[in-house]
Amino acid sequence: MRLLLVEDDVMIGEAATQALRDAAWAVDWVRDLRNATLALGGSEYDAILLDLGLTDGDGSTLLQQLRAKNNRIPIIIVTARDLASDRIRGLDLGADDYVIKPFDMDELMARLRAVIRRKDGNASPILSNGIVSLDPATHEAWTANTERMLLPAREFALLEILLLKPGKIHSREALETGIYGWGEEIESNMIDYLVHAIRKKLGSSIIRNVRGAGWYVNVSVPNAG
């Protein structure tokens, strides 16, 4: 899934970007409000990590602008401001969560998964269409006929995108956008390779293809186990 990181501290930005990419997030990192606005105008994101003390203004301005447009994208404020009044204001302005620096990356990613589940209306932490199941916390996938197996980051990222919206056909470009962040080289035929690798592990019918259109997983069916 694709994430916009708005953070002006270079050390934090670099460390967070690397950790998130290692965990299969496609991350675009910007350091000010101007570039955050430009990024949001040109790309679709699944969530935003938003610092407040930016070089060209307060991150809460962006939060207010998005909520005024009824934009429901999950937003987690990540800031050094630790007063209760700051937390209350941020949440009342429409943030989905509020994390104080310094933070633990594993906890931050758990909070990201939680706010995205709420947005998509998924109560369960496990993604499943009744045929294949995926645990976003551990990157393990399984079916009724296979044991749990740990998927490499990009295999996990592709399967997660498909399972979030069963039945929807995702084009090659859409899948690449969800898997690769800015500055990451998109390898030729990588989507085909990832689909092949997932099918080999979980079954040839797990991911279906519509020639010339893209790939999908079946709409939810009674749980196969």
Residue 224 pLDDT class (50, 70, 90 cuts): very low
pLDDT of residue 52: 96
Question: Is residue 8 scored above 80 in pLDDT?
Answer: yes
Q: What is the bridge-based pairing of β-strands 140-143 and 97-100?
A: unpaired
Q: Can you give the residue range of the structural domain that contains 198?
A: 127-216
Same domain, 135 and 114: no
Are the CB atoms for 133 and 143 separated by under 8 Å? yes
Calpha distance 93→87 (Å, rounded): 10
Q: How many helices (H) and strands (E) does the chain have?
A: 8, 13
Neighbours of 58 (CB within 10 A): 13
User: Of 24, 33, 10, 31, which Cα lies nearest the Cα of 158?
Assistant: 24
Same domain, 16 and 36: yes
145-176: pLDDT as tens digits: 899 999 999 999 999 999 988 999 999 999 99
Q: How far apart are the first and last CA of the chain?
A: 26
Same domain, 115 and 151: no
Tell me the average pLDDT across 15-40.
95
pLDDT of residue 139: 96
Q: Which pair of structure tokens corresponds to residue 221? A: 């069916």
User: Of 136, 120, 204, 123, which Cα lies nearest the Cα of 168?
Assistant: 120
Tell me the average pLDDT across 181-187.
83
Global confidence as pTM: 0.85
Residue 150 forms part of a structural domain: yes
| Listed residues 81, 101, 120: the one ending a domain | 120
| Kind plus residue range of the DSSP H or E element containing 221 | none
Q: Write the CATH number for 202.
A: 1.10.10.10
Same domain, 79 and 36: yes
Same domain, 156 and 174: yes
Same domain, 97 and 18: yes
The total of structural domains in the chain comes to: 2
Same domain, 12 and 116: yes
Q: Which pair of structure tokens corresponds to residue 198? A: 């997932």
Calpha distance 81→84 (Å, rounded): 9
User: Of 87, 109, 82, 114, which Cα lies nearest the Cα of 98?
Assistant: 87
